[in-house]
Amino acid sequence: MAPMELILELTLMPLIAFLVGMMMVLMMRRIAAKIQRRVGPPLLQPLYDIVKLHSKRTQISHGLIHDIGIIMAMGGYIAAETLLPVPGMNGIAEKGGIITLLYLMMIPSLGLALGVGQCANPNGSIGIARALTAMLAYDIPLVIVIFGVAYAAGTTNLVDIIAQQQAGGFAAWGAVEMPLLAIAGLIAMHASLGKQPFEIYIAPAEIATGPMVEMSGKYLGGLFVMQCFQLYTTSVLYVSLFLGGGTTWFDFLLKSFLVLAIPVSIAYLFPRYRTEDLLRLMWKWPVMLGLIGVAFVL
């Protein structure tokens, strides 16, 4: 591949991710509004929020690590996007593979955790402790799912996994071949978004939005950007693993938005679990489904 082309891809992929991610945030808020019989925010609301937050006159920092944490949170996702193939663009997906992507997606959380730690607010620390606990909860079914898919495909290369599904048509889609894994993956994905009923680490009424408690201005803005990326990455990863990726941008985006719509629709119907209930739930049903699914794959 020509280097210019590669550089173009590497720039475009995060950019597209960001734009699509903003639309996903909008969709999420609109769905919430529709469920609550409200009108919901205008079309560009996510952009307004991000611009406003970055244009705050006074920005409260708690130290250098606070700043670096936010940079890591954004930068980690920007890097992760280049490992996630989209129609027509593979970026450097072949040089990393799915395990690397999975671990790269932990970098933003790590950055956030560091930044929040430096904020010296116990609410934030509790939030991070809970977030890590939640990660322990949903990553276990998630890795089972990843294992199953990668083993079935015989590769950890996302490009190959997508290509295999597309070559076989609908019947070769992960969701059709491995329905149990697809269900387990969906639950794990829902939990990884940190939406109700799994939002134990945000818990506004309890620990004042946990990690975000000391975030103001561009710090919060950075997290809003990160949220766009997070929604995009999660849904696209799911689409790539189970729904055959996308041949064109249209069906790619359609699938991504639809996939995301499922957990989001569920989310606004429920209150919050307690931490141990979340763990119990995650370690029971999705793990069980996932293991049975893997057994079928083997």
Partner 1 sequence: MILTPLDELLLFSGATLLVALILGRGLAAGWMVTILYGGQLLTLIKMAALGYSDTIIHASINFEIMGQSLSWRFDALSWFFALITVASALLSSWFSCGEWERSFKQHGGNIWLYHSAMALNVFTMLILLASGDLLSLFIGWELVSWAGFLLMAMAGGVATRAAMRYITYAMAGGMAVFGGIALVYVAAGSLQYEAILTAVDQMSTTQLWMLVVMFGSGFGIKMGLLPFHLWQAPAYAETPGPGSAFLGAISSRMGLFAILLVLVKLFGIVNIDSLKIPFTLIDARDLLAWIAVFTIILPTFTAMKQNDARHLLAWHGIGQGGYMLLGVVVADAMGGAGGLLHVFNHATYQAALFMAVTAVIHRTGTSDLNKLGGLVVRMPLSFVVLLVGIIGLAGLPPMNGFVSKWLVYRSLLNEGMPLLFLAAVIGTLGTILSVYKLIHNIFLGQLRIEHEQVKEAPWSMMVPMLILAAIIFITGLFPGIPLAWVASVQEVIGLPVTDYTLGGVESVSGSLDMIWVIGVLFAGFGIGAVIFYSAGRSKRVHQLDNYAGGHFLSADVRYQYSDNFYAGLMHLIGGWYRGSFLWLEKSVTSLVDFISLVMQGLYRRANAEFYLLSTALFVIAWVVI
Partner 2 sequence: MSSINQIPVIEAKRGNPLSKVFDELVRFCRSRSLFILHYCTGCGAIELPPAMTSRFDMERLGIQPMVSPRQADILLITGYVSIKTLKRVILTYEQMGSPKYVIGICSCTVNGGMYWQSYATAKKLDEYMPVDLYIAGCMPRPEAVIAGLQQLMNRIQSGEANSWEDYFRNYDYYLGNQQKLFGDNWQTPTDIITEAKHYNLMGEGTFGEHTRLLEQHQKPLEALDMRLGHNLKEPTE
In whole angstroms, what is the distance from residue 98 CA to residue 103 CA? 9
Choose, by CB under 8 A, the member of 10, 19, 31, 33 that binds partner 2: 33
* Distance of closest approach, residue 7 Cβ to partner 1, in angstroms: 10
Q: Which window, 1-9, 51-59, 193-201, 257-265, contacts partner 2 (CB under 8 A)?
A: 51-59
Choose, by CB under 8 A, the member of 22, 24, 84, 130 that binds partner 1: 130
Q: How far is CA 193 from CA 60, 118, 187, 190, in A?
A: 27, 24, 10, 5
Q: Which window, 29-37, 40-48, 123-131, 187-195, contacts partner 1 (CB under 8 A)?
A: 123-131
Q: How far is CA 31 from CA 25, 27, 226, 264, 272, in A?
A: 10, 6, 20, 7, 18
In whole angstroms, what is the distance from residue 211 CA to residue 214 CA? 8
Q: Choosing among partner 2, partner 1, none, which partner's interface includes residue 45 (Cβ < 5 to 8 Å by kind)?
A: partner 2
* Distance of closest approach, residue 123 Cβ to partner 2, in angstroms: 8
* Distance of closest approach, residue 138 Cβ to partner 2, in angstroms: 24
Q: How far is CA 208 from CA 39, 53, 104, 162, in A?
A: 26, 19, 28, 41
Please, which of residues 149-178 interact with partner 1 by CB under 8 A?
Answer: 150-151, 154-157, 160
In whole angstroms, what is the distance from residue 13 CA to residue 85 CA? 8
The answer to the question of residue 31 lying near partner 1 (CB under 8 A) is no
The answer to the question of residue 265 lying near partner 2 (CB under 8 A) is no
> In 3D, which of 286, 81, 75 has the Cα closest to residue 191?
286
Q: Are 283 and 135 in contact (CB under 8 A)?
A: no
Q: Are 231 and 77 in contact (CB under 8 A)?
A: no
Q: Choosing among partner 2, partner 1, none, which partner's interface includes residue 135 (Cβ < 5 to 8 Å by kind)?
A: partner 1
Q: Choosing among partner 2, partner 1, none, which partner's interface includes residue 298 (Cβ < 5 to 8 Å by kind)?
A: partner 1
Q: Which window, 56-64, 71-79, 191-199, 233-241, contacts partner 2 (CB under 8 A)?
A: 56-64
Please, which of residues 189-218 interact with partner 2 by CB under 8 A?
Answer: 204-205, 208-209, 212-217
Please, which of residues 84-113 interact with partner 1 by CB under 8 A?
Answer: 92, 94-100, 103-104, 106-107, 110, 113
x/- binding map, residues 50-79, to partner 1, per CB under 8 A? ----xxxxxxxxxxxx-x--xxxxxxxxxx
* Distance of closest approach, residue 38 Cβ to partner 2, in angstroms: 4
* Distance of closest approach, residue 74 Cβ to partner 1, in angstroms: 4
In whole angstroms, what is the distance from residue 182 CA to residue 175 CA? 5
Please, which of residues 205-224 interact with partner 1 by CB under 8 A?
Answer: 208, 213-214, 217-219, 221-222
Locate 3 and state its tokens.
């280097």
Q: How far is CA 94 from CA 90, 91, 126, 129, 207, in A?
A: 8, 8, 38, 34, 41
